[in-house]
Amino acid sequence: MPTDISPLAPKSYAELPPVTGVRIETAAAGIKYKDRTDVMLMVFDKPAAVAGVFTTSKCPSAPVDFCRSNLTGGRARALVVNSGNANAFTGQKGRAATELTAKSAAAAVGCSQDEVFLASTGVIGEPLDAGKFATVLDQMAASASGDRWLDAARAIMTTDTYPKVATRTAQIDGVTVTLNGMAKGAGMIAPDMATMLSFIVTDAAIDPSALQAMLSRHVGSTFNAVTVDSDTSTSDTLLVFATGAAGEHGAGTIHSASDPQARSFSKALADLMEDLAIQIVRDGEGARKQVEITVTGAASAKAAGRIARSIANSPLVKTAVAGEDANWGRIVMAVGKAGEKAERDKLAIWFGDVRVAVDGERDPDYSEAAASEVMKQEEIAIRVDLGIGRGKARVFTCDLTKAYVEINGDYRS
């Protein structure tokens, strides 16, 4: 794991209040890392509604397959997450590891195995010795408490340099409900789904189908709008749990994502997801700059998204950002190669508030000094207008530095 914290790390971490209905514990099982926690357990003392989105990789991990199967039940009593080993591309041994973990967690919590959810992150292709942490789940379930969010976020880190947490509140029938979330991710980050692990818990009472609809609605503009290196992981897992405990204080149950009382919650969920997604970008392996790319005037929203990702994933664009080089020609290149409709003589490009190109050529008032000042900032906005339609999209990324190569060159050592 990296020892240097990203310069884009938050100056302080959000203080997450306990969420009624969930307890958390962590442990050090020695899966890969020494002298640090690497297992996290969430216990839901009553069945919680659950929704999820997973990787689109055709080589998914064993825990992803397990979660997809259990998600049809819509209820959860336990979540077990380990770091250091992805339990991916591990064949029958991988499936056996998930079975042992689920069996052990179910026994520790007192539930059925189809109410258990699993996630693993780390090295691909190495068998996971689930016995290392299965033996500690009983004690973890007994000692779990409601205020362990930051500890939990640390336990699921791999190449992350800091834990990622966020909290929001919403109103349902005049009752305040809480949403807490954590995420991990720094490399192998690209859309479809977002390449990371993230877990969100709320005390709101929500039917699983409504929770799934809201999650699916917001994932496109949040976790699917981030990219560090264009590589989609085998293990991407985003799960949202609703304990329903706020119902005891008068908050009604949300039965549909279109219910009027769902508006405040849905907005808070979207805001929380965007916060966590951007934290992942800001911890991109070796990152020194956060970049927000906005594309407008495209033929469609889908086309705008593809063009934005073409820019965000371009090594030439990302290295120019790292070198603080206002090389807008690389933006032109990335737009042109995206395969979407574009008219050269209608194209306009901005770095921050500085328009560097317009009508298919360098802006007549272009200032290299002004553009260079924008590139020196930690947060850089790049905007492209194609001038041919109403499609728009936004993508978050980071620069590409020498440290990225160093981190990934040493990843398995």
Q: Does 408 show up as a binding residue in the annotation?
A: yes
Pairing of strands 361-362, 348-351: unpaired
Cβ neighbors of 153 (< 8 A, separation 6 or more) are 163, 164, 165, 182, 183, 184
Q: How many residues does the chain have?
A: 413
Q: HSE-up of 170 (CA within 13 Å, CB side)?
A: 25
Phi, psi angles (nearest 5°) of residue 56: -95, 5
Cα 62 to its chain centre, rounded Å, is 19
Catalytic residue among 26, 159, 195, 227: 195
Q: Is 195 a catalytic residue?
A: yes
Q: Does 224 show up as a binding residue in the annotation?
A: no
Q: Does 184 show up as a binding residue in the annotation?
A: yes
Q: % helix / strand / coil in the chain, to the nearest 5? A: 35, 25, 40
> Any bridge partners for residue 317, and if so which?
none
Phi, psi angles (nearest 5°) of residue 383: -125, 135
Q: Please, are residues 117 and 79 in contact by the beta-carbon 8 Å criterion?
A: yes
Q: Does 379 show up as a binding residue in the annotation?
A: no
The secondary structure element, H or E, covering residue 42 is: strand 39-54
Q: Does 413 show up as a binding residue in the annotation?
A: yes
Cα distance between residue 179 and residue 215, in whole Å: 13
Phi, psi angles (nearest 5°) of residue 141: -65, -35
Q: Does 126 show up as a binding residue in the annotation?
A: no
Strand segments (E) across 289-404: 290-298, 348-351, 354-358, 361-362, 379-385, 391-398
Distances (CA, A) of 175 to 130, 169, 205, 242, 245: 41, 10, 11, 15, 11
Distances (CA, A) of 187 to 162, 226, 284, 400, 408: 13, 11, 6, 11, 9
Cα distance between residue 251 and residue 257, in whole Å: 16
Q: Please, are residues 134 and 32 in contact by the beta-carbon 8 Å criterion?
A: no
What residues form the annotated binding site? 158, 184, 195, 285, 408, 413
- Residues placed in the known binding site for substrate: 158, 184, 195, 285, 408, 413
Q: Which residues are catalytic?
A: 195
